[in-house]
Amino acid sequence: MITVPVELGERSYDVLVGEGARHRLLDVLPFGVQRAVVVTQANIPVEVDPGVEHVVVTIGDGEGAKDLETIDDLCRRFAQYGLTRGDVVIGVGGGMVTDVAGFAAAVYHRGVPVVHVSTTLLGQIDAAIGGKTGVNLPEGKNLVGAFWQPSAVLCDVETLGTLPPREYRSGLGEMAKYRFLGAEDLLDLPLDERVAACVRIKAEVVAGDEREGGRRAILNYGHTLGHALEIATSFSLTHGECVAIGLVYAAELACRLGRIDRRRVDEHRETVAAYDLPTTLPAGIDVEELLPLFARDKKAVRGVTFVLDGPDGVEPVTDVEERFVREALEAVEP
């Protein structure tokens, strides 16, 4: 078992990565917990035993269920069960589940402990770690949420064998991102070490910028276009597929701004292709529809904020001229 600490002072916690990690659940529950609510989905073939009195609550599938109505329903279920601040919420599933379970835990009784058992590659290397929780509005993705750190995260790589190929490949979109944040040669490592390498990078970034006031924005590399694509395609593309295209787009934009050279752009394209992910926009996408969606990205502070590669590494960039934004979009058209 690989243990990766997330150093946040009194909010510090461990991420356990390895085969059978879910069976360590009782070991990581907050001290004194007597009851739990397990939040999951009906289609997740992973069961957990918290080792304490508990109930299982299922939420809907897909991005359509990642909304405030689901949070309202969950909090009412918590109240009906009599959940208190001395109890715990356990999210079992992918990023959608941990985002929703974490947000409900953050707002119920103004905060109850939450532990995540992440069952997808996307969740294990990104969504379940770092304390960002939230749900969607019709106007954009993850626009309502809270920072609420879990008490622990369990990344059981055995559960990845239950994933459909396309969902597993979606996680590879986030893994490709880490190639440009300092994790190299991931394809040559065993699966648990690959996951742990990504977790270490995220843990280090989160420890230095818990609430995304600066450097943490680099974890959104590829996501400015990625999130816009998810909305524009009504989530017919997976998150990882959208991020993969977003990585190539970000490289093309950075090149046009003189931040990187063509060789570095080719490196992005080759990395994404090595994970068997798309490098161009899907056919039929209206560029005019994408442009206003950029401004709704939750990391936007002053106009549209892009996260771009450059001589000092990946970093947020603002005040990008629209002509460069359009030219880079043309470079990723099919």
Please list the active-site residues: 110, 132, 174, 202, 212, 216, 220, 223, 227, 239
Helix axes 165-178, 239-256, angle to 10 degrees: 30
Q: At what angle do helices 223-232 and 287-294 cross, to 10 degrees?
A: 120
Please give the Cα distance from 74 to 93 (Å, whole number): 15
Residue 4: which residues within 8 A CB-CB, separation 6 or more?
A: 14, 15, 17, 196, 199, 200, 203
Token code pair at residue 134: 């939230």
Rounded to whole angstroms, the Cα distance separating 318 from 141 reads 20
Strands 132-137 and 114-118: unpaired
Cα separations in angstroms, 158 against 45, 91, 219? 12, 17, 25
> Hey, CA dihedral for 25, 152, 76, 298, is it positive or negative?
negative
Q: Beta strands 2-6 and 13-18: pairing type?
A: antiparallel
225: nearest Cα among 251, 204, 206? 251
Q: Classify strands 114-118 and 88-93 as parallel, antiparallel or unpaired.
A: parallel
Angle at 62 between CA 118 and CA 206, to 5 degrees: 40
CA Rg value for the chain: 19
Going by C-alpha positions, the residue among 32, 27, 8 that lies closest to residue 16 is 27
> What angle, 0 to 180 degrees and rounded to 10, lies between the N-to-C axes of helices 262-274 and 239-256?
170
The tokens describing 213, both together, are 């006031």
